[in-house]
A and B are shown apart, each in its own frame.
Chain A
Amino acid sequence: MKPIVVLICGLLLLVGCHTPAPPPTPDPDAELIEKGRQIFFNETFDGNGRTCGTCHPAENNFVIDPAFIASLPDDDPLFVAEFNPALKENFENPRLMREFGLITENLDGFDDLANKFTLRGVPHTLGLRFTIDSSLGPRTGWSGDGSPGDGSLRSFATGAVIQHFTKTLNRVAGVDFRLPTNAELDALEAFQFSLGRQQELTLPLPLKGTVANRGQAIFNDLTLGKCSACHFNAGANFNPNIPFPVTGNLNFNTGVEDLPDQPQDLTGELVPPDDGFGIPGDGTFNTPALIEAADTGPFFHNNAIETIEGSVAFYNGDAFNNSPAGQLIQQATGSGINLDGTQVVEVAAFLRVINALENIRQSIELLEPVARKSHQTVEQGLQLLDLAGRETEDSIMVLSAGGLHPEAVQHLKEALRLTRKAKRSIFSKSHLARQAIEQQQKARAELVETS
């Protein structure tokens, strides 16, 4: 009995003596970012119970889609229109929200709520540092005009609170919600800018996969795929090598609204056309980044297309080629976009691989503090492991669904097993996190040449 007591005491002593390794160079904005994180996920602004995280959950790449929505309990604030009588009419369309992940927006005014609205998907909030700026000012939201005030990301939360957080349709500040303070807007902006990648990709990447590599070549070929004209380096900015009067993140009318069989239109529900930027709208929508695309569908402002392959194929169709943006491409290059079936899949494969690479980068970034024991609390460590696991699940899904890189998928599955084990472990979290990182690195080495 005595040796067991001694052993237990020894173990407790070891645990008690554990001193976390010092964190790497502290981010000067770390405190502000953490404050923003707390606000983003916990602050309801005295409204209907929703937070920013209601529609931008960290565990689902900061987006909501029908599968995620189906996993929520019926009393989740997302469904406030289903249980708050004051918001029952003209606040959301619960059917279209649950079936297609669509949110109601009154971008053209609040004077005719029953008839004047748009239904849009939720864009993710990753990599925002590179997806907002244009030479004419900031572009936020699906149509680039999503923020009130000065139109910046910092101001976005003010408009979101008014649109989505209100207790009643009167939308009286101080009664139905409170507006974010300047300090809160600063913190929210810092937090949002901290999400996702902090660097642009530089294409071409030395990809190992034959199909994805061909997809990358098509993507970058301004006479074939022509994708990199508007998505330079698979991001959200116009190609700076093409002379154009404006630069950065631009708006285009790509004809998505002209798709003949949009899923929500097939339901018989009222779905007014979305006129995009401005009041009245000019039909244009903002260019999103593609690095984060493959695991953040459905795609386009109205969630019209479920798969990444379908989204690439969209640019072959009449809706795009007859659109103002399609016409611009034709005038500039002498032809529209006409990819065949294999080429569509190849471009999609490229998008899947760069998304998996970004997920791997994020997974490693999340695992590192646990491996170094530099996280602040046990709870924070568990959150990091949880998010790392979810990113790894995304990597597996994105590659497997495209039939890509089975060897990498095996490494990722092992990384996921180790990450989950680390989450359950009391004494070996750091060791297991290090092993998971090694598996992530092996997976990455299957996708791209590493120096």
Chain B
Amino acid sequence: MLKHIIIAATIFILIFGAFSVQAEKSTEMFIPIGQSPGLSGEYTVMGKIDQVNARDQSIKMSGPSGSYTVRMTKHTLIYLDRSKTQLPNSYGTLADCKVGDMAEVKFVDNARSKPIEWIKVQKAK
């Protein structure tokens, strides 16, 4: 009986991905930079964009904790934060990430060695 349960559970997990940690992504887009609850200031990094490398899908940023390069994947969400201009936020592309923009990034599994799950780019004008 127990063996069956373990086998069934393993199959279940292999087939269904319901056992990953996941926060709600859709409303995250509307949260201004630096205000994501439980993440901002603890698990995210903020800084100015110094360089955008489209070829290897990376962004070099610098902030209070120094300079660092973050990697993106095809799954990385790019949020454009226009709340400062009182315009609706939206999804963006790498082309919307401009040198000088303030940005906040969240890493996959909150591990800085991993690519980023999302980046919020503040559009001040």
Contacts A108-B26, A149-B31, A279-B25 given; does A155 touch B38 at CB 8 Å: yes
B10 interfacial by beta-carbon distance below 8 Å:
yes
- Selected from A141, A171, A245, the residue in CB contact (under 8 A) with B88 is A171
- Selected from B5, B7, B31, the residue in CB contact (under 8 A) with A242 is B5
Residues of B within 8 A of A245 (CB): 9-10, 13, 19
Taken together as a complex, chains A and B put the C-alpha atoms of A242 and B5 apart, in Å, by 8
| Residues 108-149 (chain A) with a chain B CB within 8 angstroms | 108-111, 136-137, 141, 144-149
Interface window among A70-78, A327-335, A395-403: A327-335
B18 touches A252 (CB 8 A): yes
Closest partner residue, chain B, to A110 (CB atom): B26
A148 touches B22 (CB 8 A): no
Residues of B within 8 A of A146 (CB): 24
- Selected from A149, A244, A333, the residue in CB contact (under 8 A) with B9 is A244
Q: How far is the CB of A212 from chain B (nearest CB, A)?
A: 28
B93 interfacial by beta-carbon distance below 8 Å:
no
B124 interfacial by beta-carbon distance below 8 Å:
no
Taken together as a complex, chains A and B put the C-alpha atoms of A175 and B82 apart, in Å, by 12
B21 touches A151 (CB 8 A): yes
Contacts A282-B16, A333-B1 given; does A151 touch B22 at CB 8 Å: yes
| Residues 150-173 (chain A) with a chain B CB within 8 angstroms | 150-152, 154-155, 158-159, 162-163, 170-173
B113 interfacial by beta-carbon distance below 8 Å:
no
B38 touches A152 (CB 8 A): yes
- Selected from B17, B36, B87, the residue in CB contact (under 8 A) with A278 is B17
Taken together as a complex, chains A and B put the C-alpha atoms of A244 and B1 apart, in Å, by 13
Contacts A154-B37, A284-B18 given; does A149 touch B23 at CB 8 Å: yes
A185 touches B17 (CB 8 A): no
| Count of residues in B whose CB is under 8 Å from the partner chain | 44
Contacts A151-B23, A333-B1 given; does A328 touch B28 at CB 8 Å: no
A8 interfacial by beta-carbon distance below 8 Å:
no
Residues of A within 8 A of B37 (CB): 147-150, 152, 154-155, 158, 180, 182, 185
B24 touches A173 (CB 8 A): no
| Residues 332-378 (chain A) with a chain B CB within 8 angstroms | 332-334
A170 touches B88 (CB 8 A): yes
A253 interfacial by beta-carbon distance below 8 Å:
yes
Residues of A within 8 A of B1 (CB): 332-333
Taken together as a complex, chains A and B put the C-alpha atoms of A136 and B89 apart, in Å, by 30
Q: How far is the CB of A400 from chain B (nearest CB, A)?
A: 38
B9 touches A151 (CB 8 A): no
A331 touches B20 (CB 8 A): no
| Residues 1-52 (chain B) with a chain A CB within 8 angstroms | 1-2, 4-13, 15-32, 35-40, 43
B21 touches A136 (CB 8 A): yes
Residues of B within 8 A of A148 (CB): 23-25, 27-28, 31, 36-37
Q: How far is the CB of A7 from chain B (nearest CB, A)?
A: 60
Taken together as a complex, chains A and B put the C-alpha atoms of A179 and B38 apart, in Å, by 14
Dominant SS among interface residues on chain A: loop
Q: How far is the CB of B46 from chain A (nearest CB, A)?
A: 15
B39 touches A332 (CB 8 A): no
Q: How far is the CB of A177 from chain B (nearest CB, A)?
A: 9
Binary contact readout B80-92 vs A (1 if CB under 8 angstroms, 0 otherwise)? 0011001111010
| Residues 211-255 (chain A) with a chain B CB within 8 angstroms | 242-246, 250-253
Residues of A within 8 A of B5 (CB): 242-244, 332
Residues of B within 8 A of A141 (CB): 24
B38 touches A149 (CB 8 A): yes
B8 touches A331 (CB 8 A): yes
- Selected from B8, B30, B35, the residue in CB contact (under 8 A) with A332 is B8
Closest partner residue, chain A, to B38 (CB atom): A150
- Selected from A147, A172, A284, A334, the residue in CB contact (under 8 A) with B24 is A147
B91 touches A151 (CB 8 A): no
Taken together as a complex, chains A and B put the C-alpha atoms of A111 and B26 apart, in Å, by 10
Residues of A within 8 A of B6 (CB): 243-244
B23 touches A145 (CB 8 A): yes
Residues of A within 8 A of B16 (CB): 253, 282-284, 324
A150 touches B39 (CB 8 A): yes
Interface centre among B4, B5, B11, B39 (most CB of A within 10 A): B5
Residues of B within 8 A of A159 (CB): 24, 27
- Selected from B38, B82, B91, the residue in CB contact (under 8 A) with A154 is B38
Closest partner residue, chain A, to B35 (CB atom): A179
Residues of B within 8 A of A252 (CB): 18
* Interface pairs (23), CB distance under 8 Å: A110-B26, A110-B30, A144-B22, A147-B23, A149-B36, A150-B39, A154-B37, A154-B38, A155-B23, A155-B37, A171-B88, A171-B89, A172-B89, A173-B30, A179-B32, A179-B35, A244-B5, A245-B9, A245-B10, A252-B18, A328-B8, A332-B8, A332-B9
Listed in ascending order, the chain B residues whose CB lies under 8 Å from chain A are 1-2, 4-13, 15-32, 35-40, 43, 82-83, 86-89, 91
Listed in ascending order, the chain A residues whose CB lies under 8 Å from chain B are 106-111, 136-137, 141, 144-152, 154-155, 158-159, 162-163, 170-175, 179-180, 182, 185, 242-246, 250-253, 277-279, 282-284, 324, 328, 331-334
Knowing that A277-B18, A332-B4, A332-B5 are A-B contacts, what are 9 other residue pairs whose CB atoms are under 8 Å apart, sorted by A's residue number? A151-B23, A172-B83, A174-B86, A180-B37, A182-B37, A279-B26, A328-B8, A331-B7, A332-B9
